[in-house]
């Protein structure tokens, strides 16, 4: 497999992508982790930081960063897939606010580790601007800020922007206003995950790549090459989780696709903005996201690819020409300075994990020794760090502020069997796409899209 072709990010890492040695046979560990993405590597990092004597083994089907960790939009954000009101309904207002504050701190923590470990990943703490380009989007921006205020968050966390203020940060076409939060950094995600892999190896962690786990059970991770036996087994497989026996309905793997332009001129960037390398999006229903990369490209992505029957994950699904074309159109609509034929050099995609109740979770079943984290709904760059710190405390039996957060040991319901799952997910995607088109035509909010969003708990 040609790993650099999986994403723009993996094509521009600062090291060869030669796989590390595979598992040579049966072995013993204190903790075995399945998956060498952010979640697995952060868990290994904090476990060995707290107790260097622990024998930690990480098993990876391909290479570190093969999945979403090497293909995402590069937002290390404080976004959490469950809204503050939804968290408050389930766990209370104080717990909801504690979760949000923990996410704010997580962005700073990742930046601290990047500096401490010398990871060159184009880290830029520029925050996020989310634009409003229709009246309905502006209503949603106002509502988001009002909700933040109701939970005690102030202008230092989230602020409403008028048209001039929003355009000063990101000069997209037709901006009416927006929101800004400082709690986000733009990052080169593949360099981050690859640097993290080197950091955990320096701490004594063993990573076996090209070692596919075929079963996870109490006390063991099973592979064709051998079994790693350990009192604690951590599942850190996110969108690839349905490929493990008995876990097909745990998360739905939904694809997100991206494009990257050639490096843009200084004059073009002067017209677009993002001078502080703010990450950007807008308040439409169907998620879009972008960043100004460290080498001056515009990396831009969004949802819209179909969910595949039976939660199948295939390399062929990474590429949907229809979605890539739609992303190019959207980018040129946002920034006419790019022209109708956006100069795209890279296209890629991959699956992310969505739990049935839209709730990310982390936990440890002490009776079985099975631990897990995931269901990030595309917000995993930051959330995975919080998961790794939390798992390290749970595994070591430490009671802490992290282990008291409301997502700990949350059990999401399973997704419905097929064909209901296929119909529900793809119908929801179409409803949101239709709602966005209608809002652009009429500037009226869609009740159907809002209802679908509430049903998913977002």
State the average pLDDT for the chain.
Answer: 94
pLDDT at position 77, please?
98
Confidence bin at 438 (pLDDT 50/70/90): confident
| Predicted confidence (pLDDT) at residue 45 exceeds the cutoff of 80 | yes
Give per-residue pLDDT as tens, 359-380.
999 999 999 999 999 999 999 9
Q: What is the pLDDT of residue 241?
A: 97
Residue 110 parent element (H or E): helix 93-117
Residue 307: Cβ-neighbour burial (10 angstroms; 0-12, 13-18, 19+): buried
> Which tens digit of pLDDT belongs to each residue from 261-301?
999 999 999 999 999 999 999 999 889 999 999 999 999 99
The mean-pLDDT minimum among 245-249, 263-267, 302-306 falls in 302-306
Q: What is the mean pLDDT of residues 21-40?
A: 98
Q: How does DSSP assign 168-181, residue by residue? A: HHB--TT--EEEEE
Name the band, by pLDDT with cuts 50, 70 and 90, for residue 450. very low
pLDDT in tens, 190-240: 999 999 999 999 999 999 999 999 999 999 999 999 999 999 999 999 999
**Which residue stretches of 361-446 are H helix?**
380-395, 420-442
Q: Kindly tell me if the per-residue pLDDT of 451 is higher than 50.
A: no
pLDDT score recorded for residue 435: 83
- Is the per-residue pLDDT at 73 higher than 70? yes
Note the pLDDT of residue 452: 40
Share of the chain above pLDDT 90, in %: 88
Quick: pLDDT tens for 343-363: 999 999 999 999 999 999 999
Measured CA to CA in angstroms, residue 46 lies from 25, 217, 305, 386 at distances of 26, 23, 35, 10
The whole-angstrom separation of Cα 252 and Cα 116 is 36
Kindly list the distances between the CA atom of residue 217 and the CA atoms of 43, 233, 366, in Å, as whole numbers in the listed order.
19, 8, 13
Give the confidence band of 443 by pLDDT, cuts at 50, 70, 90: low
Residues 381, 74: contact at Cβ < 8 Å?
yes
The gap from C-alpha 159 to its chain's centroid, in whole angstroms, comes to: 23
């Amino acid at each position: 497999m040609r790993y650099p072709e999986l994403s723009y990010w993996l094509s521009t890492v600062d090291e060869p992508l030669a796989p590390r040695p595979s598992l040579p046979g049966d072995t013993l560990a204190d903790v075995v982790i399945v998956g060498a993405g952010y979640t697995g590597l952060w868990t290994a990092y904090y476990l060995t930081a707290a107790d260097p004597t622990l024998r930690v083994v990480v098993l990876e089907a391909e290479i570190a960063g093969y999945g979403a960790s090497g293909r995402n939009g590069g937002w290390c954000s404080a976004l959490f897939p469950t809204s503050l009101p939804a968290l408050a309904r389930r766990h209370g207002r104080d717990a909801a606010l504690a979760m949000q504050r923990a996410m704010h701190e997580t962005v700073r923590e990742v930046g601290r580790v990047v500096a401490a470990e010398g990871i060159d990943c184009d880290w830029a703490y520029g925050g996020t601007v989310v634009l409003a380009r229709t009246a309905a989007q502006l209503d949603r921006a106002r509502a988001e800020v009002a909700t933040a205020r109701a939970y005690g968050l102030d202008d230092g966390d989230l602020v409403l922007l008028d048209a001039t203020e929003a355009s000063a940060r990101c000069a997209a076409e037709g901006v009416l206003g927006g929101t800004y939060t400082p709690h986000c950094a733009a990052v080169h995600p593949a360099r981050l995950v690859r640097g993290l892999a080197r950091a955990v190896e320096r701490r004594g962690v063993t990573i076996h790549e090209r070692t596919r786990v075929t079963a996870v059970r109490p006390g063991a991770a099973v592979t064709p090459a051998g079994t790693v036996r350990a009192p604690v087994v951590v599942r850190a497989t996110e969108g690839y989780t349905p490929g493990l026996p008995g876990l097909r309905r745990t998360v739905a793997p939904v694809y997100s696709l991206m494009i990257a332009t050639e490096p843009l001129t200084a004059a073009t960037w002067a017209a677009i903005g993002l001078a502080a390398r703010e990450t950007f999006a807008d308040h439409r229903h169907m998620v879009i996201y972008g960043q100004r990369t460290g080498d001056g490209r515009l990396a831009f992505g969004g949802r819209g690819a179909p969910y595949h029957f039976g939660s199948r994950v295939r390399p062929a699904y990474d590429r949907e020409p229809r979605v890539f074309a739609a992303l190019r159109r959207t980018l040129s609509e946002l920034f006419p300075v790019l022209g109708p034929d956006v100069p795209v050099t890279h296209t890629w995609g991959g699956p992310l994990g969505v739990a049935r109740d839209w709730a990310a979770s982390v936990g440890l079943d002490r009776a079985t020794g099975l631990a897990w984290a995931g269901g990030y709904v595309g917000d995993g760059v930051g959330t995975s760090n919080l998961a790794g710190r939390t798992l390290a405390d749970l595994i070591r039996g430490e009671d802490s502020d992290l282990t008291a957060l409301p997502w700990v040991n949350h059990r999401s319901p399973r997704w419905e069997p097929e064909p209901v799952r296929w119909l529900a997910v793809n119908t929801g995607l179409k409803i949101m796409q239709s709602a966005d088109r209608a809002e652009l035509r009429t500037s009226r909010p869609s009740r159907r899209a809002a209802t679908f969003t509430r049903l998913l708990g977002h």
